[in-house]
Amino acid sequence: MKRFLLFVALGLFIKSAGFAQAPTPDWTNQYWPARWIVHPTAPTRQYGIYHFRKAIDLAQKPTRFVIHLSADNRYRLFVNGKSVALGPARSDTQNWNYETLDLAPFLQAGHNVLAAQVWYMGESAPFAQMSYQFGFLLQGDGEAEKMANTDASWKVFQNPAYSPVKNDIPKLRTYIVMGDGDHIDAAKYPWGWEQTNFDDKAWATAKPFGFPTKPRGLGTDGNWALVPRTIPMMEETVIRLAVVRRSENGKMDTAFLQGKAPVTVPANTKAVFMLDQSYLTNAYPELTVSKGKGALVTLSYAEALIDAKGQKGNRNDVEGRTMRGFDDQLVADGSDKRIFRPLWFRTYRYLQLTVETKDEPLVLDDLVGKFTGYPFEEKAKFAASDTTLKALWNVGWRTARLCAGETYYDCPYYEQLQYTGDTRIQAMISLYVTGDDRLMRKAITDYEHSRFNDGLTQSRYPSADFQVIPTFSLYWVCMVHDYWMHRQDDAFVKSMLPGILGVLNWHEQRIAKTGLNGPLEWWNFVDWSKWKNAKDEISGGIPNGARKGGSSILSLQQAYTYTRAADLLAHYGKNELAEHYRELARRLNKAVYEQCWDAGRNLFADTPDKNSFSQHANILAVLTNAVPATQQAALLQKTMADTSLTQATFYFKFYLFEALKKTGLGDQFIAQLKPWRDMLAIGLTTFAENPEPTRSDCHAWSASPLYEFLSTTCGIRTAEPGFKSVRIEPFMGDLTSVEGKMPHPSGEIAVQFQKSPTGALTGSVTLPTNLSGTLRWKGKTMPLKAGKQTVSL
């Protein structure tokens, strides 16, 4: 994609210099001459892996050869044997992404071959994969490239080597929607199919599929409505496993892991090698093997090993522990240097190789990983007098990275689904640490596309499995508000207002005569807490009062969202609607206070029955001003100290941290990080979904301290929409010094502070051009201007 952007810049230079340049069509606004193509006889909605090829002859090496391409489910494109692209970016059929690439760097004068591996997983597909049917599409950008268009000139082959490895869900004992693994019989594989010298004469002629190819908004039949990809291609970086932790019936050491020494497994032997990456990662494993005809190699992947009781315990422990995870398999054909790579990446810290040979020894030549993920660049920095915080930063950043690809993921190992509750937190980390807002924009747009006739968004999207969490629809509204506060992008934000109103209206219609929200449909998830007395709920994560009505938590979250929505509506001139929702928020707050405030305990109860109390209700009461401002700090202190309350887990502590900032109690943030330190103490290299025992070892909602180090400890926050000014209010707690920097649309914000024993603040603040703001410290303020300035308060 960078090459393509460079090409566009070069093209503009040539045009401005007076050189002629043929215009290219606007492929977002007309039918495409290229056709979707399929196999002529294979079923188009059943599991199948296919290879397409097209030879093109060029008189000279081109300086430009731009194409647009897509597939269902996915493709991997090769040019003259070199892998150049993976796609399309996940979406739904009415917003089906295509990629635009300049292939010129990979082409040569004379004979060239375009080749694509395309797979359709059918019932083996992950929930995150939406689909219409199997198909492949490539459109040349202009006259010179039209020779590459997909049509009957392409050849196709259905690869019989592939079959799915079914995940053993009962064995794994949890919710897994990742799709099946890959089983490859090397003897049936068309090795070298992507190379220029491969003989494809026996391959079938590709068959153009039924309807004309069209972008979104044209035509009558709605198969794939094509839209341009809005995010960059995923990163791929070589990584290697760190150490061999265990070997059975074979010898392997780090020399093999470093690619320096092959390992031979004798004939008629079952050998097992337990390999440790030393940290959790997302990667395409690439295993190279030779000889060993008929040998079965199983690659198993796990976040951690388990003991006899099925517990993970310390993630570094191997002794007495076994692998329980996903599998891929390769059956060797006896030839040299066969490379196995699964169709989709795998998440693992531990990778177990199980080799079962037959009458011939098998040689393991090499095993390498290709780390993959959204190409975020870590631009923010954080350091403090407590150097142990650096480990929390590093692990948080790894967590955030592993939960970001073509969409945000709740967790990379089990689901890879983009849930709004998770995504709101992930997006703030992205903005603060990288400054890259493209994946956040895509996520907001994905949720907009997910809306259904109730007016709500779906809870996770893209997803082939329909799921609704009304509380997450409210967080989608808050996500739009977050984006609006940090980016000046009025057209985009305004385009979301109709959807926002649909979500607000759904919740308004469910406000009961009591003033609290009434019986609620769907899954009203709040947190994976151990809710007391919530026996009428079987889905988990739901507080009292959701099903029958009267939940203070859900009513307060509604008020929290109405206030933010009102800010948006007022900004865009919808003042009456804004005041309507502000008034509704005030009424909800009043109803909660009157019916759920327990004067004896000085706490908000979860329902008017006052038989259960949670941190969640009281945190939201602070965030919504349901309790007077003069009482908010005391309420929050009590909320943190009272262990009889239903406790917020890692996810909802994001809102606790926001309440700390709001009440001026941000100095207590660092002390709240003990649960994160505890995760490091048991060998976690990413932050888990829940306190032990946890399902997922990597959940981005638990990476929120990364954002808080910058927004709370360093105190950097947007002061008005579009981040047009900044408010800096550091909360250093027991720290004596902090320094941090973060990207801003205009440049970089950097702070460096020291705290004296008497409580004075000194240091410096650097703001980008045209950015001003205010520094606050212990009730005192000073103005800030663009550039570097020394501060003392």
Tokens of residue 195, six digits: 């190379």
Q: 280-311 pLDDT, tens per residue?
A: 999 999 999 999 999 999 999 999 999 999 99
Binned at pLDDT 50, 70 and 90, residue 538 comes out as: low
Q: What is the pLDDT of residue 7?
A: 36
Judge: domain 235-373, CATH 2.40.30.20. no
Nearest to 373 by CA among 232, 505, 487, 488: 232
Q: Measured between alpha carbons, how far is 108 from 665 in angstroms, rounded to an integer?
A: 64
Q: Cβ distance 724 to 767 under 8 Å?
A: no
At 292 the three-state DSSP class reads coil
Q: 350-369 pLDDT, tens per residue?
A: 999 999 999 999 999 999 99
Map tokens 């909320």 to a residue: 639
Tokens of residue 539, six digits: 């889905």
Tokens of residue 257, six digits: 């892991």
Map tokens 């008005």 to a residue: 720
User: Which of 764-792 are b and which e, b meaning 16 or more Cβ less than 10 Å from the residue's Cβ?
Assistant: ebbbbeebebebbbeeeeeebeeeeeebe
The answer to whether residue 413 scores a pLDDT higher than 60 is: yes
**Alpha helices (H) in 333-437, listed in sequence order:** 389-402, 420-433
Largest CA distance in the chain: 87
Q: Cβ distance 130 to 32 under 8 Å?
A: no
pTM reported for the whole predicted model: 0.95
At 342 the three-state DSSP class reads coil
Q: Measured between alpha carbons, how far is 454 from 603 in angstroms, rounded to an integer?
A: 34
Q: At what angle do helices 389-402 and 420-433 cross, to 10 degrees?
A: 120
Q: Measured between alpha carbons, how far is 183 from 298 in angstroms, rounded to an integer?
A: 9
Q: What is the pLDDT of residue 706?
A: 97
Q: What is the pLDDT of residue 3?
A: 38
The answer to whether residue 587 scores a pLDDT higher than 90 is: yes
Nearest to 379 by CA among 431, 424, 438: 431
Q: What is the pLDDT of residue 4?
A: 39
| Residue 765, amino acid | V
Q: At what angle do helices 575-596 and 615-624 cross, to 10 degrees?
A: 140
Q: What is the mean pLDDT of residues 400-425?
A: 98
Q: What is the mean pLDDT of residues 188-214?
A: 96
Q: Where do the domains of the chain lie?
A: 2-163+188-228, 235-373
Q: What percent of the chain has pLDDT over 90?
A: 93
Q: Is 313 left (phi over 0), alpha (psi -120 to 50) or beta?
A: left
At 473 the three-state DSSP class reads helix
| Residue 776, amino acid | R
Q: Measured between alpha carbons, how far is 269 from 287 in angstroms, rounded to an integer?
A: 19
Q: What is the mean pLDDT of residues 42-53?
A: 98
Q: How far is CA 275 from CA 217, 327, 612, in A?
A: 50, 15, 47
Q: What is the mean pLDDT of residues 106-124?
A: 98
- Tell me if domain 2-163+188-228 and domain 235-373 are identical in fold: yes
| Residue 753, amino acid | F
The answer to whether residue 717 scores a pLDDT higher than 90 is: yes
Q: Measured between alpha carbons, how far is 685 from 396 in angstroms, rounded to an integer?
A: 9
Q: What is the mean pLDDT of the chain?
A: 95
Q: Measured between alpha carbons, how far is 72 from 93 in angstroms, rounded to an integer?
A: 9
Binned at pLDDT 50, 70 and 90, residue 434 comes out as: very high
Q: Measured between alpha carbons, how far is 458 from 419 in angstroms, rounded to an integer?
A: 9
Q: What is the pLDDT of residue 94?
A: 95
Q: Cβ distance 677 to 556 under 8 Å?
A: no
In this structure, of 2-11, 400-409, 476-485, the range with the lowest mean pLDDT score is 2-11
Burial classification of residue 5, based on how many CB atoms lie within 10 Å of its CB (0-12 exposed, 13-18 middle, 19 or more buried): exposed
Q: At what angle do helices 674-681 and 389-402 cross, to 10 degrees?
A: 80
Assigned CATH class of 2-163+188-228 = mainly beta
The answer to whether residue 14 scores a pLDDT higher than 70 is: no
The answer to whether residue 726 scores a pLDDT higher than 80 is: yes
Q: What is the pLDDT of residue 145?
A: 98
Binned at pLDDT 50, 70 and 90, residue 536 comes out as: low
| Residue 735, amino acid | L
User: Which of 42-61 are b and which e, b meaning 16 or more Cβ less than 10 Å from the residue's Cβ?
Assistant: eebeebbbbbbbbebebeee
